[in-house]
Amino acid sequence: MKFLFKINPQKYNLWSIIIQSIIFGFAVIIILKLVFLQIIQGSTLKEKAGINRSSDRDLSFRGEIFDRNGIRLAGDTTLYDIYAHPRYYKKENTPDEIASVLAKYLNQPEWLLKDKLSKYEYSTISLAKNVDTITVDEKIKPEVLKRKIRGLDFVKKSKRIYPQGNLAAHILGYINFDANLAAGVERTGESSLASMPKTKRIEYDGRGNVIYDFNTEPENVTSPLKGSKLVLTIDSAIQHVAEIELAKMIKKAKADKGAVIALNPKNGEILGFALYPNYDPNNYNVFSPSVIKNWALSDVYPPGSTFKVLTIASALETGAITKDEKLEDTGKIKIQGWEIKNYDYNRHPYPGIIDLEHLFMHSSNIGSLKAALKMSPYDHYRMLRLFGIGMKTGIDLPGESAGIIPEANEWEKITQASIAFGYSIAATPVQIASAVAAIANNGVWITPHVMKTTDDPEKIKKIKILSEKTCQTITDVLSRSIEHGSSEAGKIKKYRVAGKSGTSRKPDPEGKGYLPNQIYTSFIGYFPAKNPEVLIMVVIDNPKTDNSWGSTVAGPVFNAVALEVGRILNIEAD
């Protein structure tokens, strides 16, 4: 057989070398590329691949808030916002059909939904907000899938809910995620509530299914991330009683507002903090700022005769008087041109020589100011500052006021005299409660607080301000004045109460002087007297019925709440 052409061996060898060189070059390039990708960039690319396969949690929940007994006071729930995108509708899915599916579940008229869905000029149409998960997941979505409707978007979101409604609203506050606003412990507890746990990112395959491995926890896959829980010192049962009894008296006395504070004087834990009028934090935006504000922290008032407890305690501690002190109560006195009278001067114009029990039992202004004037202004001022008057208590709630007390070098004789029975100064109910609690706690002042768990234990201060002897004297005198007095305020079954009522005129917010016929009534007491476990402070603003006094308006609230608190806490009778 003859070949039509003859192969040149030299030419063949050259082409063979060229082709082999090219193949070899490609192989080298591929090998180098693989080395670069697998070895040099291996860890980086592996991390990027993991990121591409994984996703951050699309929903996270703020931490829950519980009372001291584990009752849930606040938490998050999942809701949906529903949107429509007209450009993604299928031809067979008309606005009429989509509206007919949605109307029966969204409580909206079919014609209204049809009108919304027909706005083709919009890229996104809002159809409904805050739709519950059962409605969307179990009703709407299955029907949408069955009918093959396109163009609907179900956007998950979390919403803060308060399952107990109005209970402890002024303590819990509220949270507005959109406007970055918060109140109450929702604000002061932000660092805990918004602190999310560190978890492994979840990886998904191309179809969106979770890629499980040995370290994947099913709960982390199926549940939203939750912030740290916050436990409060509040006892829901005590809180409920305080709110009920306060509301009853406000309505009965036709008063403007009121507050009840119940705390444990031994550790500063607030067991109940009720204010009226109240509000629902689930719908806080429909209430006025004056209702939402915790005025027992932010607003000051002249405490009146409840302040005599601090006056006499200060005089005893400084040695200005003794427990057996006798004072001449003249019924009225004139100081620097100002005439001061006892509240019952017209009935008892000259009580004569009185002791401390009589002073408290009859709420003697003259006896109190004479005891105060036995102290130097600087000693008196120093003691009141130790009690926390004119300073913020440091309570773990926002909006606290410091109160008002003149500097000692500004005191005239009339200033010191009027301070003795709760005028010429201004304080918050929380300040007075924490000051008297120091007497109940053998002279140790403790920062009042509503959070049982705290990230900074040093925020709760303990300061020794009085001797145990002084505290025992005050407790004995107060409890005897209630036992032997004619008023029912502070008289409760099973317990001896150390307490004092107060009535003070309401200052005119527009200028000097007082508002005509407007008063604050109050009562503060702690029990059992031999071993105090609870202190309760009641303040009622502007009662409008006849015979309105601290003992007749605030006193009955104290009695009702104290009796229930003793039962709830199972406090031993004394």
Q: Is residue 10 part of a domain?
A: no
Contacts of 478 (CB under 8 A, 6+ apart): 309, 360, 498, 499, 500, 525, 529
Q: Is residue 36 part of a domain?
A: no
Write a three-state SS string for 249-299: HHHHHCCCEEEEEEECCCCCEEEEEEEECCCCHHHHHHCCHHHHCCHHHHC
Is residue 215 very low, low, confident or very high in pLDDT (cuts 50, 70, 90)? low
Q: Residue 442, CB half-sphere, CA atoms under 13 Å: how many?
A: 6
Q: Is residue 173 part of a domain?
A: yes
CATH code of the domain covering residue 171:
3.90.1310.10
**In this structure, are 407 and 523 located in the same domain?**
yes
**In this structure, are 185 and 289 located in the same domain?**
no
CATH code of the domain covering residue 343:
3.40.710.10
Q: Is residue 390 part of a domain?
A: yes
3-state helix, strand and coil shares in percent for the chain, rounded to the nearest 5: 40, 20, 40
Query: What is the DSSP secondary structure assignment for residue 76, as one 8-state letter?
Result: E
**In this structure, are 460 and 554 located in the same domain?**
yes
58-83: b (≥16 Cβ within 10 Å) or e: eeebbbbbbbeeebebbbbeebbbbb
d(CA 440, CA 436): 7
Least confident residue range of 5-14, 264-273, 346-355: 5-14
> CB–CB of 537/524 below 8 Å?
yes
CA angle 536, 537, 542 (to 5 degrees): 145
Which of 231, 251, 281 is where one domain is finished? 231
Which of 168, 203, 231 is where one domain is finished? 231
**In this structure, are 508 and 409 located in the same domain?**
yes
**In this structure, are 201 and 269 located in the same domain?**
no
d(CA 490, CA 431): 21
d(CA 233, CA 69): 9
Which of 176, 209, 231 is where one domain is finished? 231
Contacts of 402 (CB under 8 A, 6+ apart): 390, 391, 392
Which tens digit of pLDDT belongs to each residue from 438-473? 999 999 999 999 999 765 667 899 999 999 999 999
**In this structure, are 330 and 433 located in the same domain?**
yes
Taking residues 146-159, report their average pLDDT: 88
CA quadruple 113, 114, 117, 118: dihedral sign: negative
**In this structure, are 225 and 251 located in the same domain?**
no
β-strands 352-354, 327-329 pairing: antiparallel
Taking residues 174-191, report their average pLDDT: 86
Q: In this predicted structure, what is the pLDDT of residue 135?
A: 92
Q: Greater confidence, 18 or 354?
A: 354
% of the chain beyond a pLDDT of 70 = 89
Count of domains for the chain: 2
**In this structure, are 385 and 243 located in the same domain?**
yes
Which tens digit of pLDDT belongs to each residue from 86-132? 988 887 778 888 988 898 899 899 899 999 999 988 989 999 998 99
Q: Is residue 44 part of a domain?
A: no
Q: Is residue 9 part of a domain?
A: no
**In this structure, are 75 and 147 located in the same domain?**
yes
Its domain, for residue 465, covers 236-568
CA angle 355, 358, 363 (to 5 degrees): 125
CA-atom Rg of the chain in angstroms: 36
Structure tokens at 141: 């979505």
**In this structure, are 208 and 290 located in the same domain?**
no
Q: In this predicted structure, what is the pLDDT of residue 209?
A: 59
